């Protein structure tokens, strides 16, 4: 059996730990700030490098915020979607069962692989 040697340096592990702890998505800048706040003097460059390497190894997912900023999350995290109020900003986390199925079906139909998706709902909440 060939061993898929994972080289995982200290920084990689740190980033994984933070991502586990925070859950969900975070940008490189945010992750860097969190680590700094916790007393870790890790450099921004290293954060970017570690994230890049984790993405290459398919350990974290890379998506984009609406403004184009890269955001990362641990692969395999059960993700959820959001229902956001355009007026007060209140947000509800919702399951996306139907979406997951839809994305998968569509991707298959058109022969896409390594598929991901984004989906958000926005409107005016009952309080507004």
Partner DNA sequence: CACAAAAATGGAAATGATTATCATTTTCAT
Partner DNA sequence: ATGAAAATGATAATCATTTCCATTTTTGTG
- Which residues bind to DNA, rule: CB under 7 A? 7, 9-11, 27-29, 41-46, 48-50, 52, 67-70
Q: Is 3 exposed, middle or buried (0-12, 13-18, 19+ CB in 10 A)?
A: exposed
Q: Residue 22 or residue 27: which is nearer to DNA going by CB?
A: 27
Select the span of 28-36, 57-65, 105-113, 118-126 touching Zn ion (CB under 5 A): 118-126
Query: What are the two backbone dihedrals, phi and then psi, of residue 14, each rounded to the nearest 5 degrees?
Result: -60, -45
Q: Shortest Cβ distance from residue 15 to DNA (Å)?
A: 10
Print burial letters for 16-35: b (CB count within 10 Å at least 16), e (below 16).
bebbeeeeebbebebbbebb
Query: Quick one: 44 or 103, whose CB is closer to Zn ion?
Result: 103
Task: Identify what 110 binds: DNA, Zn ion, a copy of itself, none; CB under 5 to 8 Å per kind.
Answer: a copy of itself
The Cα 47–Cα 75 span in angstroms is 17
Q: Work out how close the CB of 39 gets to DNA at its nearest, in angstroms, rounded to a whole number.
A: 12
Size of the site for a copy of itself (CB under 8 A): 34
Establish if 55 lies at the interface with a copy of itself (CB under 8 A). no
Residue pair 51/11 in contact (Cβ under 8 Å)? The answer is no
């Amino acid at each position: 059996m060939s061993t898929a040697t994972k080289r995982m340096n200290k920084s990689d592990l740190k980033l994984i730990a933070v991502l586990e702890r925070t859950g969900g998505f975070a940008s490189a800048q945010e992750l860097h700030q969190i680590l700094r706040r916790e007393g870790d003097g890790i450099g921004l460059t290293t954060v970017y490098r570690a994230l890049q390497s984790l993405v290459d190894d398919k350990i974290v997912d890379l998506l984009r915020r609406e403004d184009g900023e890269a955001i990362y999350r641990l692969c395999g995290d059960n993700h959820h979607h959001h229902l956001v109020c355009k007026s007060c900003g209140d947000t509800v986390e919702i399951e996306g069962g139907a979406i997951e199925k839809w994305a998968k079906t569509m991707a298959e139909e058109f022969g896409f692989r390594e598929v991901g998706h984004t989906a958000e709902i926005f409107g005016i909440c009952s309080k507004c």
